[in-house]
Chain A
Amino acid sequence: MRDTGDCRYSILILCLLGTACRPAVADEGSDAISSTAELLPLSWEELTELDVSGLARRQQSVKDSPAAAFVITGEDIRRSGANSLPDVLRMVPGMNVAKINASNWAVSARGFNDLYANKLQVMIDGRSVYDPLISGVYWGQQNPALQDIERIEVLRGPSGTLWGANAVNGTVNIVTRSARDTQGGLLYGGGGTEERGFGGVRYGGQLTDGVHWRGTLNAVNRDASARLNGAGDTADYMNAQNANFRLDGQTGERDQWMLEANVARYRLQGDYIGVTSVDPPTWRSDDFGRDGVTGSLQGDWRHRAESGHDWRLNMAFTQTEWTLAMNRMSRSQYVLDWQDSLPSDGAHHWLWGLNYQMINDRFDNTLTLSFLPGEFTQHNVGLFLQDQIDLGEDVKLTLANRVEHFTYTGWETEPNARLIWTPDRRHSLWAAISRAVVLPNRAQHSIRLYKTIPGTDRFFEAIANPHMLTENLMAYELGWRWQATDTFDIDTALFYNIYDRMQGTRFTGQVFNDPIPGTLEATVGNERQVKSYGLEVSANYRVNHDWRLQASYSANQFDIEYDRSQSWLRDPLTEQHFNPSHQLSLRSLFNLTSEIELDAWARYVDRLYVDQREIPDYITLDLRLGWHPHRNLEFSVSGQNLLDAYHPEFSDILYIQSVSQLQRGYFAQVSWRF
């Protein structure tokens, strides 16, 4: 009965990473937080989140993992006043989050941010939600009820050994609450100026002894964002509905399982690309929004064998159907993941696993956007092996490798070595060297995009490159965690990354007269080398039980090599220009009384240069006032982006014609448990 289905991913992450899977050493003094005195400065909310058994304690686990890890708790989400997943991720040091319009975000870690950011693995309960078409996430399609989220675990830096290709700059694992933890009812709703209306209902019950269920229905409706000149809006309204059903079961002492079904419907509007006719060439900037449905079914089974083996089977099936004005897609994805953690053999802790993924998609092609071949199936297979070795009382080494075969690129290997040294209970130092790969995606492999060159009236045809190779990363990381006092801790990470064979889109010099005379050919290839380095710091200060401060800062620099004699479709200095050099986030969580909460969140983001346009640096402030008149009732009012009427955060005029600006917004919310 130790942990529920959704605890296991944190255990898995940390097992894979190293030390945390090892039981904490029984010696009280060596465990930074287990001694009673160190629990006392925690707030009531933090305390009630802690697990009794040290094995699954994420606070300790994060502190012990030899990687740049950050955990957003359900309480952090509730008090952030944020209403969408990307907005919540803004509190993580090293994460880049920029809202492009009401339904599109650019989200990445350690730079490389873009609408099509392709170096982040994102999972909900272990099911990957990144889209294999672009190797990124369409965040507008992901609108789970935030109340169902128990925590979000974010690993910056490569974890390809754990999660395969594309877990290059980071991994985000969204863990939803188990059915057992969400018994009874919850009704919530609210609305305001930008978050026009949102709400949901959840109910959970017990099926039989040890088997619990819960179902959630929720909906969101967002207002359009402002035009660049502030006059009028860009008509990028969105609405989405979600239905989620989950079963959690415990069969005997040794078996645990979880079944989850999810259906999401989304309607994202806005001024997207579209060429309606070639004769005469007609360009129309109109609502070419996306209308789609995604359904998924997933199962997870964990068994502890008497022999000491701990194995886990995870299966997921996802079906996605969406329609754009100029394109339609239907896709099925199957994922099978198996792993076996061996009983400890002295100083060695072995873990190995197998995974298989099948992706089958079909496109109805049009002139503006097509994929050739229109139907395609990929099969990707991987094998990984890890040994975590105790080199001494306070030094642990983790060696691991994953070998994977991809339909597009053949065999790849993603090894890593991690070392953690915990000289005393206040300090831990870690270092890691890893290799990770980014797979060429379906779009790079088979796209034909036909449209005007931004800023001109000439047309180009972007043509895919079936010979695209993986982008390869060699990453060097250093980290230091310091529990300075019982109430103050600081976590620092440094990285130096070398990315080889980075994608670039250049004009080939070919000119076609079909379908429109003078159309230039552009193609994607492994054209550039990028080096990046940076620093991430997060600090926590518990002033007292009623007041907690959290700060994070990150700095990021790029060094890019490319052929200057070529003519490029997009900025060859994308990374350098698209990513802020400095970011700062400051949060204050303050209990005015035990019934009234006042929360503030300020952020600074350095300027960007996107689509030949400067996006100025900005400072924002969000405020939230929450009131609990009764133990089952909560009212809150939130204000977002309070410091200006509107500001832009990003742009992608290749796909989204109008540059949008984020507006100041207010909303009120009520939630009732029954």
Chain B
Amino acid sequence: MPKYPGGFNRSVVGALARWRVGWISLLAVAAISWVAASDSVPSNQEYQLKTAYLFHFAELAEWPESAPVNICLLGDSPLRDYLPVLEGWQIDNRVVHVSLGDNIDNCRILFLSDLHVLSKAVSEYARIRHVLLVSDVEDFARRGGMVQFTLRDNKLKLVVNLPAVRDAGLKLSSKLLRMAEIVQ
């Protein structure tokens, strides 16, 4: 048989006191009341993230010759409001410029708002002038685009058309490809 020393005996008073503390604090939580207004709008940073991704593409893609990093936008996308933030930032000691007009000369990265902007002419231009074509429309990569944003599990993912990227004389780092879905 175990030999139990005196130990501590819990008194009835102690048990009651513990009960009381519990209920008083529960009641205190319930009793406190304040009035303040607050709107419940879930914040969404989809386009902030896309902008940051585009910024990183300048580093994760390799162009045949070095040139200033010009990031362009063609068509009407909410990205128009966010992209200008990149103007003047540096990546790999190269200054980033943003162009939102129709003039897509000297673009290194071109974001297309829509599939119909991905014309034969734009594809051909991108292939010859080594432009990375990016979009967030469905099927962009399958239809000859290069890098497509897609949403999965509340995270931004990439779909990459590797042959199109290679045709344009571009190389994407394995770091980028590691998290991308590849279409051939």
Residues in A whose Cβ lies below 8 Å from that of B179: 48
B5 and A465 contacting across the interface, CB-CB below 8 Å: yes
For residue B128, CB closer than 8 A to chain A, the reply is no
B35 and A346 contacting across the interface, CB-CB below 8 Å: yes
A594 and B89 contacting across the interface, CB-CB below 8 Å: no
For residue A484, CB closer than 8 A to chain B, the reply is no
Closest to B91 in A: A545
Closest to A415 in B: B25
Residues in B whose Cβ lies below 8 Å from that of A4: 153
Cα distance A286–B131 when bound, in Å?
69
For residue B42, CB closer than 8 A to chain A, the reply is yes
Stretch at the interface among B51-59, B70-78, B109-117: B51-59
Residues in A whose Cβ lies below 8 Å from that of B176: 44, 594
Cβ contacts B141-184/A at 8 Å (1 or 0 each): 00000000001011110000000000000000111111110000
Closest to A2 in B: B154
Cα distance A399–B34 when bound, in Å?
13
Cβ contacts B107-148/A at 8 Å (1 or 0 each): 000000000000000000000000000000000000000000
For residue A40, CB closer than 8 A to chain B, the reply is yes
Closest to B47 in A: A36
Most chain A beta carbons < 10 A, residue from B35, B60, B155: B155
B174 and A37 contacting across the interface, CB-CB below 8 Å: no
Return B132 CB to nearest CB of chain A, in Å.
15
Residues in A whose Cβ lies below 8 Å from that of B9: 467
Cα distance A227–B155 when bound, in Å?
49
A31 and B43 contacting across the interface, CB-CB below 8 Å: yes
By DSSP majority rule, is chain B's interface helix, strand, loop, or mixed? mixed
Q: Identify B43's interface contact among A23, A42, A412, CB under 8 A.
A: A23
Residues in A whose Cβ lies below 8 Å from that of B49: 39, 47, 50, 52
Cα distance A521–B182 when bound, in Å?
70
B residues 1-50 touching A (CB-CB < 8 Å): 2-5, 7-10, 15, 18-19, 21-23, 25-26, 28-30, 32-49
Most chain B beta carbons < 10 A, residue from A4, A44, A181, A545: A44
For residue A497, CB closer than 8 A to chain B, the reply is no
A411 and B19 contacting across the interface, CB-CB below 8 Å: yes
A52 and B45 contacting across the interface, CB-CB below 8 Å: yes
Residues of A in contact with B, size category? 35 or more
For residue A510, CB closer than 8 A to chain B, the reply is yes
Cα distance A410–B5 when bound, in Å?
21
A residues 1-29 touching B (CB-CB < 8 Å): 1-4, 7, 22-26
A403 and B154 contacting across the interface, CB-CB below 8 Å: no
B52 and A40 contacting across the interface, CB-CB below 8 Å: yes
Closest to A401 in B: B25
Cβ contacts A560-597/B at 8 Å (1 or 0 each): 00000000000000000000000000000001001100
Q: Identify A34's interface contact among B35, B43, B174, CB under 8 A.
A: B43
Residues in B whose Cβ lies below 8 Å from that of A629: 174
For residue A389, CB closer than 8 A to chain B, the reply is yes
A411 and B60 contacting across the interface, CB-CB below 8 Å: no
A34 and B29 contacting across the interface, CB-CB below 8 Å: no
Cβ contacts A384-411/B at 8 Å (1 or 0 each): 0111011110000001110100000111
A464 and B2 contacting across the interface, CB-CB below 8 Å: yes
B41 and A23 contacting across the interface, CB-CB below 8 Å: yes
Most chain A beta carbons < 10 A, residue from B19, B35, B59, B175: B175
Residues of B in contact with A, size category? 35 or more
Closest to B43 in A: A54
For residue B85, CB closer than 8 A to chain A, the reply is yes
For residue A197, CB closer than 8 A to chain B, the reply is no
B residues 54-68 touching A (CB-CB < 8 Å): 55-56, 59-60
A390-B34, A510-B3, A628-B178 known; A40+B89 contact, CB < 8 A: yes
For residue A347, CB closer than 8 A to chain B, the reply is yes
B153 and A55 contacting across the interface, CB-CB below 8 Å: no
B174 and A594 contacting across the interface, CB-CB below 8 Å: yes
Cα distance A320–B86 when bound, in Å?
56
B29 and A400 contacting across the interface, CB-CB below 8 Å: yes
Most chain A beta carbons < 10 A, residue from B2, B47, B85: B2
For residue A369, CB closer than 8 A to chain B, the reply is no
A411 and B22 contacting across the interface, CB-CB below 8 Å: yes
Cα distance A515–B174 when bound, in Å?
69
Closest to A26 in B: B41
Cβ contacts A412-448/B at 8 Å (1 or 0 each): 1101000000000000000000000000000000101
A36-B48, A40-B89, A391-B34 known; A53+B42 contact, CB < 8 A: yes
Cβ contacts A614-638/B at 8 Å (1 or 0 each): 0000000000000011111000000
Closest to B8 in A: A467
For residue A166, CB closer than 8 A to chain B, the reply is no
Cα distance A607–B45 when bound, in Å?
47
B22 and A51 contacting across the interface, CB-CB below 8 Å: no
Cα distance A40–B56 when bound, in Å?
8
A390-B38, A510-B3 known; A51+B175 contact, CB < 8 A: no
Q: Identify B48's interface contact among A39, A180, A403, A632, CB under 8 A.
A: A39
Cβ contacts A441-477/B at 8 Å (1 or 0 each): 0000010100000000000000111111100000000
A467 and B175 contacting across the interface, CB-CB below 8 Å: no
For residue A251, CB closer than 8 A to chain B, the reply is no
Closest to B20 in A: A413
Cα distance A1–B37 when bound, in Å?
29
For residue A344, CB closer than 8 A to chain B, the reply is yes
Cα distance A468–B38 when bound, in Å?
47
A390 and B36 contacting across the interface, CB-CB below 8 Å: yes
For residue A540, CB closer than 8 A to chain B, the reply is no
Q: Identify A630's interface contact among B3, B34, B85, B174, CB under 8 A.
A: B174
For residue A526, CB closer than 8 A to chain B, the reply is yes
Residues in A whose Cβ lies below 8 Å from that of B154: 1-3, 7, 51-53, 56
Residues in A whose Cβ lies below 8 Å from that of B8: 467-469, 525-526
For residue A277, CB closer than 8 A to chain B, the reply is no
Q: Identify B35's interface contact among A7, A347, A595, CB under 8 A.
A: A347
Cα distance A292–B33 when bound, in Å?
52
Cα distance A649–B151 when bound, in Å?
46
Q: Identify B2's interface contact among A347, A399, A448, A508, CB under 8 A.
A: A448
Return B6 CB to nearest CB of chain A, in Å.
8
Return A407 CB to nearest CB of chain B, in Å.
14
Residues in A whose Cβ lies below 8 Å from that of B60: 44, 594
Q: Identify B155's interface contact among A44, A50, A463, A465, CB under 8 A.
A: A50
Most chain A beta carbons < 10 A, residue from B44, B51, B151, B177: B44
17 additional contacts (CB under 8 A) given A39-B51, A400-B29, A413-B21 = A23-B43, A36-B85, A44-B59, A48-B155, A52-B46, A53-B44, A54-B45, A346-B35, A347-B37, A372-B2, A387-B29, A401-B25, A403-B22, A466-B7, A469-B8, A594-B174, A628-B175
- A sample of 17 inter-chain contacts (CB < 8 A) reads A23-B40, A26-B41, A39-B51, A44-B175, A50-B155, A52-B45, A52-B156, A53-B42, A55-B43, A347-B36, A392-B36, A469-B8, A525-B5, A594-B59, A595-B173, A630-B174, A631-B174
Q: Give A residues with C-beta under 8 Å from B.
A: 1-4, 7, 22-26, 31, 34-37, 39-40, 42, 44, 47-57, 178, 180-181, 344, 346-348, 372, 385-387, 389-392, 399-401, 403, 409-413, 415, 446, 448, 463-469, 508, 510, 521, 523, 525-526, 545, 591, 594-595, 628-632
